Chains A and B, each alone.
Chain A
Amino acid sequence: MRYIFDHPDRMLELTQEHVRLVAISILVAMVIGIPLGILITRLRWLEASVITTTGVLYTVPSLALFAILMPFTGLGPTTVIVALVLYSLLAIVRNTVAGIDDVPPAALDAARGMGMTGSQRLLLVELPLALPVILAGVRVATVAAVGIATVGALLGAGGLGRLIFEGISRVNTDRIVAGALGASVLALVADWALSRLGDILRRDVRPSGR
């Protein structure tokens, strides 16, 4: 614990690196995963192959995935980000599909019957109603990504994982604890913040009404 209090600046810097890695990865995963999920609800035959592929990706150990990616993306944050995106896709795609599938059929029938176009149905009805479920997927992915990102320090991507690997090589338990604790707290905070965001959006999801 002492390390944390003795080096607050370094802790802050590493935490920022860590947050940046995770945030970029999750945002990219959302930009790919949510449209992919929507596509699956329209083209059902895609579902099996996409969910299987992302599911298999999810089971590859992070160290192995880094090793596989390295020849293409080199050492550094890029490799870690690509890996984190691949890991996050499963939860985000799956929850997007589940959230849209969960929209009450009566609401959809009414939307069609009242003359909404396909994109109006998506933007006014399906996505707003699926949002809490999609956000739950983002939460799961984010918490996992915070953990996996620690391993990324091996590739020189920075973040709190550096403390852990420094501690291992110097047999310095204090550093290991500082890194591990930092990552755990970060995961908890991210989880809490996203859950709050979900609550706020759920209450306030309403037509923007120009």
Chain B
Amino acid sequence: MITLEHVSKTFTSHGRTVPAVDDISLEVGEGELHVLIGPSGSGKTTTMRMINRLETLTTGRILIDGRDIQTLNVVELRRGIGYVIQQGGLFPHFTVADNVAIVPRLLGWPRQKRRQRAEELLALVGLPPEQFADRYPRELSGGQQQRVGVARALAVDPPIVLMDEPFGAVDPITRKQLQRELRRIQEEVRKTIVFVTHDIAEAFLLGDRIVLMAEGRIVQNGAPSDLLRNPADPFVTAFIGEDRGLRALQFTSLGDVAQPVPPGVPPGGMVLPGTLSILDAGRELGIHGDAIGEGIWVGDDVGNPTGYLTYQQFAAVLGETLAADAEAPHDETAHAIHL
């Protein structure tokens, strides 16, 4: 649990004091992923970097599990917090395995244990260790380097991970893939994550909560659906963008809108996982549409059908979500009524 209490930071430039972060209070619960988002200069990165004391706060307090971080040894504090940055920040002269095992090395783990941990983590982030462990960062693609960066942050299993635009420098397709992977990994490891980005779609995809910042202040702090349905002010609306319906497509999952399986539907056809967003489901249908019958089966993790949507119902959901524009507050129950 991370608690920020009235935290401010000011810089002095040309004899004037400029606030970078202005009286921010924030609570990041155990195992939650909070996204800090905002335009550049909004103080989101500075806020994150104060948590592992890469930046010093001017006033206020930051507590980790109730302990003021100013009272902790800075080196130990940082070793207990995973840190992922844009473009990986990998050490070019270390192999992938040595990069991953750097904090264990600082903590004096024996060589054997370090190696074993590195291999475990590489497997977790989808890089087969036998293939990647002994390569150098320059031999990896940008996306692969980012995976190594994530593995490195998890090396000593820290309860907290800070991520500073970790997927900002990779191409959109790889980014999408890395975002999904992060979600999968997060399901598995349940870290308390502070994630900085300026990509609103990324924020909606990953965040348990989204903290929208501007000019060093928090404009709105809420669940993704809160921001969409009840934007605090015109700035939030503007930042989220006019295509709110489209955003809604990305974070409403198929499972949320699936109907009970009606009697008499013949088995067979396509089963899509309930965790898939409506947008992605639509894409799947676009690709495989010919192969299926009257509707879509919605399945659980292992592919057992738990619900059903006819084409007509699916189209209705799509339309409904897209139409849910600025004025109309909508929630999942609305779909059920219209269906």
> B-contacting residues of A (Cβ < 8 Å)?
104, 106-107, 109-117, 120, 124-125, 128-129, 205-207, 209-210
Residues of A within 8 A of B186 (CB): none
Main DSSP-derived SS at the A contact region: helix
- Count of A-B residue pairs with CB < 8 Å: 69
A206 touches B98 (CB 8 A): yes
B94 touches A206 (CB 8 A): yes
Q: Tell whether A107 pairs with B98 under 8 Å between CB atoms, given A115-B75, A210-B111.
A: no
The size of the chain B interface, using a CB distance under 8 A, is: 30
Contact of B92 among A104, A114, A210 (CB under 8 A): A104
Contact of B90 among A107, A115, A116 (CB under 8 A): A107
Residues of B within 8 A of A207 (CB): 94, 98, 105
Give the contacts of B169-226 with A (CB-CB under 8 A): none
Give the contacts of B90-104 with A (CB-CB under 8 A): 90-95, 98, 102-103
State the Cβ distance, B196 to closest chain A Cβ, in Å.
13
Closest-by-CB residue of A relative to B110 is A210
Residues of B within 8 A of A117 (CB): 75
Closest-by-CB residue of B relative to A129 is B93
Having A110-B89, A117-B75, A207-B94, one finds 12 other A-B pairs with CB under 8 Å, namely A104-B89, A107-B92, A110-B91, A113-B78, A113-B85, A113-B162, A115-B76, A124-B102, A128-B93, A129-B91, A129-B93, A207-B98
- The complex places the Cα of A157 from the Cα of B337 at a distance, in Å, of 101
Residues of B within 8 A of A209 (CB): 98, 105, 111
B92 touches A129 (CB 8 A): yes
> A-contacting residues of B (Cβ < 8 Å)?
52, 54, 74-81, 83, 85-95, 98, 102-103, 105-106, 111, 152, 162
B52 touches A113 (CB 8 A): yes
State the Cβ distance, B163 to closest chain A Cβ, in Å.
11
Residues of A within 8 A of B86 (CB): 106
Contact of B77 among A107, A115, A116, A124 (CB under 8 A): A115
Contact of A115 among B78, B89, B98, B152 (CB under 8 A): B78
Contact of B79 among A104, A110, A114, A124 (CB under 8 A): A114
Residues of B within 8 A of A112 (CB): 54, 78
State the Cβ distance, A144 to closest chain B Cβ, in Å.
29
A205 touches B93 (CB 8 A): yes
A106 touches B93 (CB 8 A): no
Among A110, A112, A205, A209, find the residue whose CB has the most chain B CB atoms closer than 10 A: A110
